[in-house]
Homo-oligomer: A and B are copies of this chain.
Amino acid sequence: MSTPQQPKAAITPTRTENYAEWYQQVVRASDMAELSGVRGCMILKPNGYGIWELMRDYLDASFKESGHENYYFPLFIPLSYFQKEADHVEGFAKEMAVVTHHRLTSKDGALCPDGELEEPLIVRPTSETVIGTAMAKWIKSYRDLPLLLNQWANVVRWEMRPRILLRTTEFLWQEGHTAHETREEAMQETLQILEVYRVFAEEVLALPVITGTKPPHERFPGAVETFTIESMMQDGRALQGGTSHYLGQNFSKSLDIQFQTREGSLAHVHTTSWGVSTRLLGALVMVHSDDNGMRTPPRVAPWQVVIVPVLRNDGDSESVLAYCEKLRVELGTQTYANGKVRVRVDKRDISGADKKWDWIKKGAPLILEIGPKDVAAEKVCLLRRDQLDAGKRFLERRAFIEGVSAELASIQQNLFDQALTFQKARTHTHIKTREAFDAYFSKDSGNSFSTDQGFVRAKWSGDPASLALLDERGVTIRCIPLDQSGEEGFCVLTGQPATQEVIFARAY
């Protein structure tokens, strides 16, 4: 063990100083994404898009294992499709990008939209209507069911207040859409996918989540029931990480998706839809990062081990680089979480210290600094991103290689444990009256990193009249958790008798 180094806070401001600005700066310093010149739209960069690729690969394999197949549907949806489901169009009308023309023509020296479309096209904010229209054509009989499909796509929801990764006008996502014979089968599918999302969030992203249903006023437009995974950011706010909707027969009736039953009659299918998006990249930043930048869970780190050659004079360069390259190849034969370890040698023409701090900010789980002494001693100098305070460790090369998988697993677990400890510490179950509720949420909501702000788990009557009380306080009901005690009590907002417990929180 070397003397623990004192890491400077690489991110300005720190979380305590200004959480919202800290978030922006971590995204910038980690080089995951940046806002583009196109209003509300972002550019995903390799350190962010690389995480998304790993998320996609994991989920894609999960979906395929359970019988789902990938399709690709049109980006554009005719306005008339949307209008068929009233709740649905109402829910999205305020944030739709509308294509009205199909060419540009020069007029008085300026290029102007020309070739007006007979019917405007909506850039998809979600694809229930266009996919449902296709299902209506494809599904004839119970033999065609269940129909289990998914697509990886970009969607657009016009954002008035964009926030990078978390809320952007365009984002990437997957959207699953399925059709079933019965309510029971569709509900089973909805819950099965919720469980896929929970396992994905907790085991792959190291994000502890609470699973539950949305209260009626928070449901997806057109859904009968919306299930969600909710996680807690480091300022105590909630973030909805993924949703799985049981749509009942709402879409099948409005789009006329009928099938011949086993008994020979005609019936409407029961449908589901479910999705997760690139906003999960924002959740990763908000949950795992520290005042030195990003900390990427190893399972989704584009580079799990980064090797930094420390070249002090030209005479050593060749042997150091050769040693690094050999290390890269050897580490790349090791296996972690069903894949080969992803290793990169950083050969950029900048100083070793600058490289090291760059990868700290980018969140690489393991950083190796290799200088001539390490080469001579057949050692590696190791920095664990989740234990910067512990400083550098010097390990035998062979021992490090053989232990790299366990080291990565330990980081993955540590990030999850830290997030879970945080979430538990900030989930309050002792608040049972409106006065206590108000006292808790009346604290400054501007920056609650260093406070006790978080989730209040308490009873709620479900009375719609209570929603105004929440609006006034800027608090939302995140979900009705699936695990319920069933004990009777009183609504924390209205004092009415209430049995169900819900999660109250401020939210992104």
Which A residues contact B (CB, under 8 angstroms)? 36-38, 41-46, 49-50, 52-53, 69-79, 81-83, 89, 93-106, 111, 113, 115, 120-123, 130, 133-134, 143, 153-154, 156, 158, 169-170, 172, 348-350
Contact = CB atoms under 8 A, between A and B. Distances in A.
17 contacts: A36-B74, A38-B121, A38-B130, A43-B72, A43-B134, A49-B70, A49-B71, A50-B69, A75-B170, A79-B104, A89-B104, A94-B104, A96-B103, A98-B99, A98-B101, A100-B100, A101-B120
B103 A100 contact: no
A233 B507 CA distance: 56
B99 A99 contact: yes
Closest 9 CB pairs of A and B: A41-B74, A44-B72, A46-B69, A98-B101, A93-B104, A102-B158, A38-B74, A98-B113, A100-B100
A170 B95 CA distance: 22
Given A43-B72, A45-B71, A50-B69, 17 more contacts: A36-B73, A37-B130, A41-B76, A43-B71, A43-B74, A44-B72, A46-B69, A49-B72, A75-B170, A76-B97, A89-B111, A94-B104, A95-B103, A98-B99, A98-B102, A98-B104, A113-B120
User: Number of copies of this chain in the oligomer?
Assistant: 2
Contacts of A170: 74-76
A143 to B, nearest CB: 6
A153 B154 CA distance: 9
Nearest to A37: B133
B50 A70 contact: yes
> Counting chain B CB atoms within 10 Å of each CB, which of A72, A348, A349 scores highest?
A72
A142 to B, nearest CB: 9
A70 B45 CA distance: 7
Contacts of A78: 37-38
Nearest to A142: B349
Contacts of A104: 79, 89, 93-94, 96, 98, 122
B75 A41 contact: yes
> Counting chain B CB atoms within 10 Å of each CB, which of A105, A113, A172 scores highest?
A113
Contacts of A350: 143
A72 B156 contact: no
A74 B40 CA distance: 9
B123 A99 contact: yes
A70 B53 contact: yes
Contacts of A44: 71-72
A266 to B, nearest CB: 19
Given A38-B74, A96-B104, A79 B111 contact: yes
Nearest to A69: B46
Contacts of A53: 70
A99 B46 CA distance: 28
A94 B105 CA distance: 8
A53 to B, nearest CB: 7
A43 B73 contact: yes
B36 A134 contact: yes
> Counting chain B CB atoms within 10 Å of each CB, which of A46, A77, A123 scores highest?
A123
A98 B97 contact: no
Contacts of A46: 69-71
Nearest to A103: B94
A153 to B, nearest CB: 8
A121 B102 contact: no
A122 B38 CA distance: 11
Contacts of A81: 37
Contacts of A101: 97-98, 100, 120
